[in-house]
Chains A and B, each alone.
Chain A
Amino acid sequence: MGANRVVAAPRRRDDRAVAWLFLAPVLVGFVVFYVYPTGLGIYYSLTDYGMLAAPNLVGVENYRELVEDDKFWNALKVTGYYVVLNIAVQTVLALGLAVLMHRLTQSVAVRAMLLVPWLVPNVTVGLLWMWMLDANLGFVNHVLGALGLGATGFLTSPAWAMPTIAGINTWAYTGYTALLLYAGMLQVPRYLYESASLDGAGEWRMFTRITLPLLRPVLALVLVVSLIGSFQIFDTIAVTTKGGPVGATRVIYFYIYEQAFANFRMGYASAIAVVLAVLLGVLTAVQMRLLRASRSDLA
């Protein structure tokens, strides 16, 4: 200790150790349920793992096969089609509903009702619509028939199957999305609307000039989450079309499932899953970037 030092500066307490301790449960969960399976998945994607025998390393063989697999490319195409249909329709509808809730009624009953379809399990939703849309026994075709229109195999015609699936999921999720957007709108200060209306702006103008720009970060989050969710479409398809007709709804998740649990090609299925994960990562990054999601204009 030097003589020139008068008082020792109070040592800053180091909280890092405690922080790690509190983080530990989450970290363990993250490692066990995310990092470890991801690592294992990447490893399996380089093997011929078939569940019943020990995996053998085959290098990039699975990925090479993937490039030439027209079913894989078809699955990507079909999934992309679904994502576009679903996100476009769902976001527009949800935005409309959210604005109505925000500007017209703040009724809790209305908000609760919007959530009802989202609360029904997806398998039930799928089965319910499958019966209602059935070409011969379904209620919807019965009504169409009464109106003089011919029967449509909503889930059995290659042209209709995917739009129908997108419609079913839009029905199930729009209310939830609308509620998220509505919550975002509540953050927009009221005085902005008041002064805008004093200046003589109409509802449409207020929507495009105030609501939409200020909603951007929330909208970006909703888009990213529903994009990832849409790519993961599986349950509705598993209970209704099972990938048919002729692969028209064999989306990427269903194809992974088929390879893994019907053909027991776990290695190949893992390779598809890895490609999908990379794809989703890139798409999310691009989207976040384009929408400047981490910054708000309200500050």
Chain B
Amino acid sequence: MRSTYRRAGALLLCLALTGPLAACAGSDDSADGTTTLDYWLWDDRQLPAYQDCADAFHSANPDITIEITQTAWAQYWQNLTTQLASGDAPDVWTNQNTYYPQFAAKNQLLDVEPLVQRDKVDLAAYQPGLTEVWVKDGKRYGLPKDWDTMAVVVNSEMLGKQGVDPAGLESLTWNPTDGGTFEQVIAKATVDEQGRNGLDPAFDKDHVQVYGFLPEWADGASGQNGWGVLAAANGFTYLDKNPWGTKYRYDDPKLAETISWFKRLIDKGYAPRNDQQSSVANSELLIAGKGAMLITGSWTVLTLTDPKVKQDLRFIPLPTGPAGGRSPINGLSDAIWAGSEHPEEAWKWVRFLASSDCQDRVAQRAVVFPALTGATQKAADAHKAEGRDVHAFIDAAKKDPFLLPVTDHGTEINTVVQDTIQSVILGSTKADAALTEANNKVNALFK
């Protein structure tokens, strides 16, 4: 008697365990020979442009339908990984350089190099540097879709009130000792509650109304939105070889000097103290008129020039440092899942995404700069037609930009480096010692 119940129980358990699995294993194929491809991206602002591409692609290939899923950045990667782990990932997804190395290492990405060779894809048509990031050990894990560079966004009205000549903003200089003309402008843009600017001897740094500069400290291991840019201008390079280096150089004194300069900027009252910083994004503070300048990426152009924004914001080039004034360039790619049941159709879609047909459509909407150099110009024209001046970003891409680090252990390095830099800025540790220790921790990950 007992054993019957036990058997019944086991059966129930089996059903409960296997039921959901059987339910989620669906097939994308319809009986009529058409194929549906799943495509993932995270940027809601880019969704309409790519929906446009998907519709055009479907018109040209009626037997292939593209189903786009957009998930916010914060959930995108964990959703993707969970889907990969359960064997039900999208056929094609938008890839990014911190996350893609582990997908490549775990054989989740289709090597498209043979297909590139077979179909003679012209890789020279893309912005230089963007295609090679996606190559590891001779295998190619995607075609480039877009790029972004960095610039400084300034509140022209606030700077105008302090008598800053707008023409001079095109060629600011910076160094880690006295901050150059960049720091001069920041000082002038900082205003206390009595209306005195940062150069006034009576300036009250404890009651600041508008900060001249809003630095970003939650910026991972690259400092793309701030410290990384100035450290590069000071001659700092992240690692021995990029992509796929194995030895980072966070112990470089040039980086410590840069972080120390930021610390002094804060001590002078020109930038918010880290422990009095907002939890909301710096761009919100800029829009709210609480800050006059910050370093930003080309992906924020639409947000910052939105007609609803009351501030008069404009983009100026990054300051030139002792080692020049290069901007990081970062691009995304479209990758194909190695487990896709429709690799040939997926490749067709990826090729279309990387073609001028699709990238021109994206360019027209001026959301991002497409990776094809031809389409970049179209995006620039589209911005111009809307009255947006984005020359700082486009010039940065032409001025020998550098690549952000692409290595294994990207997310772990992010935490180590970000924590260290924040602790230096908070004043709880000294820059040299802390960065050397962080560097040892980072390099230990590669052993």
Contact = CB atoms under 8 A, between A and B. Distances in A.
Interface stretch (A134-142, A177-185, A278-286): A134-142
A143 interface: no
A156 B275 contact: yes
A78 to B, nearest CB: 13
Task: State the main secondary structure of chain B at its contact with A.
Answer: helix
Given A31-B13, A156-B279, A246 B428 contact: yes
A212 to B, nearest CB: 40
A274 to B, nearest CB: 20
Given A52-B84, A156-B277, A245-B274, A263 B288 contact: no
B106 A21 contact: no
Contacts of A258: 415
Nearest to A265: B412
B1 interface: yes
A160 B411 CA distance: 27
Interface in B66-95: 77-78, 81-82, 84-85
B278 A51 contact: no
B385 interface: no
Contact of B426 (A158, A240, A241): A158
Nearest to B106: A52
Given A244-B218, A245-B422, A263-B412, A51 B85 contact: yes
B446 to A, nearest CB: 15
Interface residues of B, number: 43
Nearest to B280: A134
B17 interface: yes
Contacts of A150: 206, 276
B81 A156 contact: no
A245 B17 contact: no
A122 interface: no
Contact of A134 (B107, B279, B411): B279
Contacts of B8: 24
A21 B13 contact: no
Interface in B405-439: 411-412, 415, 419, 422-423, 426, 428
B422 A135 contact: no
B56 interface: no
A25 to B, nearest CB: 9
A50 B412 CA distance: 14
A245 to B, nearest CB: 6
A223 interface: no
A133 B279 CA distance: 9
Interface in A128-171: 130-131, 133-137, 150-153, 155-160
B103 interface: yes
Given A53-B106, A136-B288, 10 more contacts: A21-B5, A24-B9, A27-B9, A52-B85, A134-B279, A137-B285, A150-B276, A240-B279, A246-B428, A262-B78
What 9 A-B pairs have minimum CB-CB distances, sorted nearest first? Answer: A157-B275, A52-B106, A51-B85, A261-B78, A153-B276, A156-B277, A246-B423, A135-B276, A136-B278
